[in-house]
Amino acid sequence: MAHVLQNVVFPLDRDPDLLPLYADPETWSTIDEQPVRVSNRAHLGNILGRHRARIVSGRRVSLGTYFNAFPASYWQHWTSVRQVRLTVRTSGPATILVYRSNGAGVRQRVDSREVTGEATSHFDLELTQYSDGGWLWFDIVADEKHAILEGAEWTTEQAPARTGKASLGITTYNKPDYCVETLQALAASPDALEFVDRIFLVDQGTQLVTEQDGYDAVAADLGETLQVIRQPNLGGSGGFARGMHEALQRPESDFVQLLDDDVLIEPESLRRSIVFGQYSTNPTLVGGHMFDLLDRPKLHGWAEVVDEHPFMWRNLYQEKMAHDFGTSNLRQSTLLHMRMDADYNGWWMCLIPLDAIREVGLSLPAFIKWDDAEFCLRAGEAGFPTVSMPGVALWHVSWVNKDDSIDWQAYFHARNRIVAGLLHSTAPRGGRLLAHSRRVDLKHLMMMQYYPVALRNQALRDVLRGPRHMQENLATAMPAARALATSYPETVIHRDPSTVLHARKGRQVYKQLLRNEFDSPTGLKLRIFTLKTLVAHWLHKPAQANVAQPEVEFGKGDAHWWRVPQFDSALVSAADGSGKNIYTRDRKKYRAMLRESVRLHAELKRRWPELQKQYRQALPELVSQQSWQKIFEEKA
């Protein structure tokens, strides 16, 4: 019996920006080591359906693309499959060329076949030479007439290691339109639904999914597969924990597939992740990559890791992301042919074996931030690795137009990172974690961003109270953090169209700073600049004229921590461009917050071994089914 590992598919939307992710009907060359298009033949009119495409006579189309190449190295490394069959169905005269790459991105042709009329071509391919990386794919070249790709898939005769389905856990807070679109995409994809046991949509908002236009129709299509659960807003961790909890009650499920709400899914990716989970030699978390929903060929999240020092998350090869497939295709993107091993995967899309949840527990009651990374680290320590799987992805709004480090989420960034460090860092007293955290406070204080420092100080005080606080303030920490913003005028985004805000010295001042000797200081200059700035803000009051009106204006991209502190006040564009914030130096707040930050970090460092023991001992209870069940019942 042939088991389909991966279908060749084409985009659901007739969006030309999506086409490079599915089919590559263009010719590329390299100029100064940069890929350049020589000719553009990317016509949507040649996409004939979900599985069909036209290849114009005399032209060549490559399926060596993100969604249609086969990630051979991941299948060889994480599964026992050692042979796959590529089946290509065509009509019309054409040549089919099969290629492979290695971990260095070197392309090699492994087979070819000429076909005429209606033809089904099989290519049996070994998965034995891909330990460091590499893909498999095929191209089609049309002869004197147009050719049609009628369909193609990658299969194996080998049975999977486990056969259970997946329950989907979708968590939402006031994104009913996105959720209905996700449900509609699933309902229209029987190939994916075949592997889905239940869809648990956990609605924590006030704009209910059940009241959204189109919900009734899609609910009727999905029938008993869909189950909507209402609960108060317990954040992403509370919503995903509920999805985990419900999936554990389903004997037909071997996995829970977590999905964020504000996403656009590729149903074939959902299917692939479940199939890969079924074939993994050992139970494995299968994560999806993240493309930018507002810039759809751009890949933002690939393999993610947590650096031991200073215990902070990042993309592997951070400097290479985001990757734009609109300007550099897969075959010419050498780095993307390497097998990349991840520490964790974001919960915008992550398949988790229920065996892992039974052994290590559910999500940490963290509300948001670090819940995904902490769980994957915990699972990894118990022998359940995370794979960020190429060809498995969705589209999510990226962080390009966001800065959640200075809004109410600053509390969770600080609190949950330190808690995760207490639970998983192996460095003495957290290594550089606390020093790095203290530097974050210093930068905010020098930037006149007092609100995030107030939240971060509260986060440290809560950590020092012990692990029980995470359950106690699960539902209240976010409202409290948002309420605190009213005490900090810099949090107001000025959008009034009848008022134009101006700075006393205008917007051009920062351009002069580009030539300043202290611009982007490093090494000794950095230390001197930081010390001088901290002392200056401690000793000197701002000029009254600069309090009454912002001294200078910065664009968001130019408002760096080594520029803004040289002024008493600044007008800075909001991250999303919707308005402007006014930052004004406040010596009283600065002094009090600096003293408190230094004190709290010192106490944390002194008490680190004691707190580490407390949090690690409390972890099994914090993440247990019984603990979460009690939270769900109390908050119902």
Nearest Cα to 233, choosing from 167, 174, 169? 174
Q: Give catalytic status of residue 191 as yes or no.
A: no
Instruction: Please give the Cα distance from 568 to 448 (Å, whole number).
Output: 9
Residues in the chain: 636
C-alpha to C-alpha distances, 167 to 194, 277, 285, nearest whole angstrom: 11, 13, 14
Cα angle 97-99-104, degrees, rounded to a multiple of 5: 155
Pair of tokens at residue 160: 């999977």
Three-state SS annotation for 372-432: HHHHHHHHHHCCCCEEEEEEEEEEECCCCCCCCCCCCCHHHHHHHHHHHHHHHCCCHHHCC
206 alpha carbon, distance to own chain's centre: 25
Pair of tokens at residue 208: 């209910």
Pair of tokens at residue 521: 């200081």
C-alpha to C-alpha distances, 151 to 9, 47, 60, 65, 88, nearest whole angstrom: 8, 12, 16, 16, 6
Residue 50, judged by CB atoms within 10 A of its CB (0-12, 13-18, 19+), counts as middle
C-alpha to C-alpha distances, 521 to 319, 432, 509, 531, nearest whole angstrom: 20, 21, 18, 12
Q: Are strands 323-324 and 226-230 parallel, antiparallel or unpaired?
A: unpaired
CB 271 within 8 A of CB 165: no
First to last CA, the chain: 47
Nearest Cα to 580, choosing from 492, 508, 452? 492
Nearest Cα to 443, choosing from 593, 251, 550, 610? 593
b/e string for 275-302 if b means 16 or more Cβ within 10 A? bbbbbbeebbbbbbbbbbbeebbbbbbb
The one catalytic residue among 372, 441, 568, 586: 372
Instruction: Please give the Cα distance from 532 to 528 (Å, whole number).
Output: 6
* Single-letter amino acid code for the residue at 627: S
Counting other chains too, the contacts that 186-193 makes at CB distance below 8 Å and 24 or more residues apart are: 186/222, 186/265, 186/267, 186/270, 187/218, 187/221, 187/222, 188/267, 189/267, 189/268, 189/270, 189/271, 191/7, 191/267, 191/268, 191/271, 192/267, 192/268, 192/270, 192/271, 193/225
Q: Which residues are catalytic?
A: 372
